[in-house]
Structures are given as C-alpha cells and as structure tokens.
Structure 1
Amino acid sequence: MNDTLFFADAEAFSAWLDANHAHASEAWLLFHKKGSGRASQTWSEAVDVALCFGWIDGLRKGVDGDSYKVRFTPRKQGSVWSAVNAAAWQAFQAFAPSYRRDAVWWVMSAKREETRVKRLDALISSSLAGQRVPPLRPRSGTGV
C-alpha cells in the first residue's frame, strides 16, 4: 500500500484500523503541521490509537511546507516494543511530557537505524531505572 491516508481525528483512524489492522501491512498517514491552519489528528493521537491495535509508527517524510506523512505498521513479534518492555513504557509515562517529547526526538532524530536502535535501548534501560537518558540529564553542578 503506497497511498497516503488522511484522518481528521483519532476516531476515524481507529475505525480504519478496526477494519484493516488484521490484513493491512502498512499505512502512510498524512498530518498537517500546527502552523498550517488545517485541522488533522496529531501524531501523538495516532500513535496512541495505533498501539491499541498492535501497530507502531516508523518513517516520517515531509510532503510540503505544511504537512508530513508517517508510516504505521503492525508491530513485529520480538520487536523492541514488545510486551517485555511494558514496565519501561509505564516508567517512561511517569516522566514529564516535555522530557518524553525530548526523549522521543532524541531517539528518532538519529539518521541511521542502528543509532536509533541503540538510543531506544538506552531509553528503555534508563526508563526502567527511573532515570533520564544521559544526553537529557541535567549536568551536575550546573543546576540545569
């Protein structure tokens, strides 16, 4: 499937996944940027819906100055987002939203897949330990 899908809200995406999650191999979703003046569901809303159906987000590509698309796929058995990491996910959710946003950006901003996987492993380990990932920890003695 190479068509880009657009959903105005999370409920519409949920309805699509309800009908298609068992047999679709991927879905590219179009999102409008906040400054575009056009309404659409947010990436965060889409991720929350996708996780309920066992799907995850992946590649992100720019479409134009006002929008981008993200590839969603079913989670693979044994992936780093498997049920084994439920405790890490719960611990991660306990952090402030600003830290969670920065941590997700830190993982996803890596250019190479190997680097993203390494950063994700570090994020999972740090979350399980109740700590921030090292690049996002306050520097000691600076109060920052």
Structure 2
Amino acid sequence: MFFSTQSDFRDWLEANHDSARELWVGLFKKASGKTGITYKEAVDEALCFGWIDGIARRIDDERRIQRFTPRRRGSNWSPPEHEARGGVIELGLVHPAGLAAFERSKQDRQRRYSYEGRPHELDPAYDERFRANVRAWEFFQAQAPWYRSTATYLVMSAKREETRLRRFETLVADSEAGRRIKQLTSAPPRQRAEQSPEGPSRQPG
C-alpha cells in the first residue's frame, strides 16, 4: 500500500493497529522523483503505535515495499529506535498502544537485567561441601543446565543464612539419593530457566 503522506499512514494505523497482523508499505526511491511517505516517516509512525519495520522487497528500480508488524513482546530495541522513540514522545505523537509497547519493553529489560544479576553459583563453602559428596555431586552435574541453574538460585536467593543452609542440605541429600529437589520435580524437560528473563518464582527466605 502506497501512502501519499505520513498522516495517511497514521490514519491507517489509527484504524488498524490493533487488528491487522502486518502491512507492506510502498516506498519510492529518491532517484525516482516521485513523492510519497519516506522510510523514516513510516518508521516514526509505526513506533507511535507499537509497530516495527521488517524485511524489504524490491518491486522495480523506483519502488520497494517494507513490511511493518506489531512489535512482539521481548523483542530488542535498537539504538536508532530508542532515539526515535524519544523524539516522538517529546512531540506528543505517541498513541496509547505505542506507550504500552514502550512500557512493556522497559519491564522486559528490567527483568532481563534482574535475571542476569541473580546468583548462578553456589557460595564457595557450599560448593566445596557439595563436591566432597561425590555421589551427590555426580548426580547434580549429570542434570540439565536449567535444573542446576534453578536449584542453585533457589539455594542462594534466600535472604537468611539458615534458610540457605537448609535448602543446600536438602539439595545435597536429594542429589545423593538420586532425585531432584521437590520444587523442580514437576518441571517440564524442555524448560530452560537460564533463557527466561523472568526466571523461577522467588521463594520467601
């Protein structure tokens, strides 16, 4: 679809941003001498409604089409997008749908940073004790990465030392017995906690 002006594209987004799954926007190359919405104008309007540009396809020497879709939750924002986002916000052009997309991206980023900063290793003293129990350690090391990471987090995330120690001793005892800790026995095999920005639920400690 070719739009003569930026406002025409905005009108389309206003009417269809929450129902359409995609739109291929037609763009003229500068050398064509033809007028119409520019790539930057299209991207700015898409940002205002929580949409994002994707792949482009050449039509001929003068025209191409650019795919636009609603932004998926968890998708990364590039530096140019962050810059453009700030500009359209300052101008007061952002639709509520766009503001919601901005807020989701902020929350996703905060969750990722929170996950990256969480403990992935046992305290050195705990680690030494765990390794000393060869049977328990071998069982633990034979488990999937997501299980080791999550079990470690459950131990080290406790606020009180006595809670950490109790969870650690349970982990060692269960490992020595050849079984996973109770909290993770029902976890699906395909789960990959280390790839989840949210991570497992925090237990009180």
User: TM-score normalised to the size of structure 2?
Assistant: 0.39
Letter aligned with residue 89 of structure 1? H
Deviation of residue 92 (structure 1)? 10
Indicate the residue corresponding to 1:74 in structure 2. Answer: 70
Secondary structure at 2:52 match in 1: strand
Secondary structure at 1:40 match in 2: coil
Q: In the alignment, is the contact (CA less than 8 A) between 2:55 and 2:67 conserved in 1?
A: yes
> Of residues 3, 7, 26 in structure 2, which corresponds to 1:11?
7
Deviation of residue 38 (structure 1)? 1.0
Give the distance between the partners of 1:68 and 1:54, measured in 2 at CA.
23
Deviation of residue 42 (structure 1)? 0.4
Root-mean-square deviation (CA, aligned residues, Å) is 2.6
Larger radius of gyration: 2
> Of residues 64, 74, 89 in structure 1, which corresponds to 2:82?
89
CA offsets 1:21-62 (integer angstroms, 9 cap, x no match):
000000000001111111111000000000000000000110
> Of residues 19, 25, 36 in structure 2, which corresponds to 1:40?
36
Secondary structure at 1:69 match in 2: strand
Give the distance between the partners of 2:84 and 2:19, measured in 1 at CA.
32
> Of residues 9, 17, 21 in structure 2, which corresponds to 1:21?
17
User: TM-score normalised to the size of structure 1?
Assistant: 0.55
- More strand by proportion, 1 or 2? 1
Indicate the residue corresponding to 1:62 in structure 2. Answer: 58
Deviation of residue 89 (structure 1)? 1.9
Q: Percent identity?
A: 46
Give the distance between the partners of 1:35 and 1:68, measured in 2 at CA.
13
Indicate the residue corresponding to 1:52 in structure 2. Answer: 48
Task: Count the aligned residue pairs.
Answer: 86
CA offsets 1:67-123 (integer angstroms, 9 cap, x no match):
100000000011112xxx78x824998xxxxxxxxxxxxxxxxxxxxxxxxxxxxxx
Give the distance between the partners of 1:49 and 1:91, measured in 2 at CA.
10
Give the distance between the partners of 2:5 and 2:85, measured in 1 at CA.
25
Letter aligned with residue 20 of structure 2? A
**Unpaired stretches in structure 2, ≥5 consecutive residues:** 87-205
- More helix by proportion, 1 or 2? 2
Secondary structure at 1:6 match in 2: coil
